[in-house]
């Protein structure tokens, strides 16, 4: 009986495939696998950021009360033709900007800066502003739901900034778009610096994913004073529940 058991054990050992024996990996092989993993993740993140969706921060009040200072939004870069990373070409667009869209674009006078405004008119359309009221192709355009006027004065054309309240008629050039901020009396937009070239438009605003209310009492960060970083961090942690605009998180941008 013991002889039979010994023969059976030897038979199992002989039948075990050689390639099933697990070999330990070297440190270099493990490191290379992690490099490939993180490299792939980085490439995917780069493609998403440059071609599909990107996060933006609203630094000013020119779009209030549609978008507030301190809102963080996600922009759809795919809809108007995503730019291919590292190449000077774009994919075909799914749609073109239309009046009413909130668009993100490179500021024509300084392409390093991104602006966000509402598209008012497209190529070939006639824009006119009469006593703060906006007309496109002679039709009155109703103000957006959360737009506002903070100055009841109506400035005439002869004033230094009279184009704020009285502008045009003006025909939008081909390949360009006329944009305005929803905070109509406090927006630096196409009334003052002209239209946005189509090639400058990056995408369309989608959703507010976070909102952080400004606080004039918050300590400033001075890189020359390392303690100021700790002071700012401590202040923001303490006031975090009050500074977050919880009701704006997840809201759709319209």
Any idea which residues carry the catalytic annotation?
Answer: 62, 117
**Long-range contacts from 165-168, C-beta under 8 angstroms, 24+ separation:** 165/129, 165/131, 165/132, 166/129, 166/130, 166/131, 167/127, 167/128, 167/129, 167/191, 168/126, 168/127, 168/128, 168/129
Strand pairing class (139-141; 176-180): unpaired
Alpha-helical regions (H) of the chain: 2-15, 27-47, 190-193, 226-238, 240-243
Cβ atoms < 10 Å from Cβ of 28: 8
> Using an 8 Å Cβ cutoff, are 73 and 192 in contact?
no
Using CA atoms, how far apart are residues 104 and 83, in angstroms rounded to an integer? 14
Residue 234 sits at φ, ψ, to 5 deg, of -65, -40
Cβ atoms < 10 Å from Cβ of 104: 21
């Amino acid at each position: 009986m013991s002889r039979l058991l010994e023969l059976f054990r030897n038979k199992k050992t002989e039948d075990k495939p050689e390639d099933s024996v697990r070999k330990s990996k070297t440190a270099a092989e493990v490191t290379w696998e992690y490099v490939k993993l993180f490299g792939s993740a980085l490439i995917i993140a780069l493609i998403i950021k440059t071609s599909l969706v990107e996060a933006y921060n609203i630094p000013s009040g020119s779009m209030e009360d549609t978008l507030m200072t301190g809102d963080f939004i996600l922009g759809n870069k795919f809809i108007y033709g995503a730019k291919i990373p590292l190449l000077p070409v774009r994919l075909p667009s799914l749609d073109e900007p239309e009046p009413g869209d909130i668009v993100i674009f490179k500021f024509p006078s300084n392409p390093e800066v991104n602006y966000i405004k509402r598209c008012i008119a497209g190529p070939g359309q006639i824009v006119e502003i009469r006593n703060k009221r906006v007309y496109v192709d002679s039709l009155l355009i109703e103000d957006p739901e959360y737009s506002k006027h903070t100055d009841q004065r109506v400035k005439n054309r002869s004033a230094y900034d009279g184009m704020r309240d009285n502008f045009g008629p003006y025909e939008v050039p081909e390949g360009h778009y006329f944009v305005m901020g929803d905070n109509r009396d406090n927006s630096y937009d196409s009334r003052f610096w002209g239209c946005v070239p189509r090639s400058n438009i990056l995408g369309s605003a989608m959703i507010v994913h976070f909102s952080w209310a400004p606080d004039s009492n918050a300590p400033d960060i001075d890189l020359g004073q390392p303690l100021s970083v700790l002071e700012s961090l401590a202040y923001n942690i303490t006031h975090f529940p009050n500074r977050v605009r919880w009701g704006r998180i997840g809201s759709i941008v319209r």
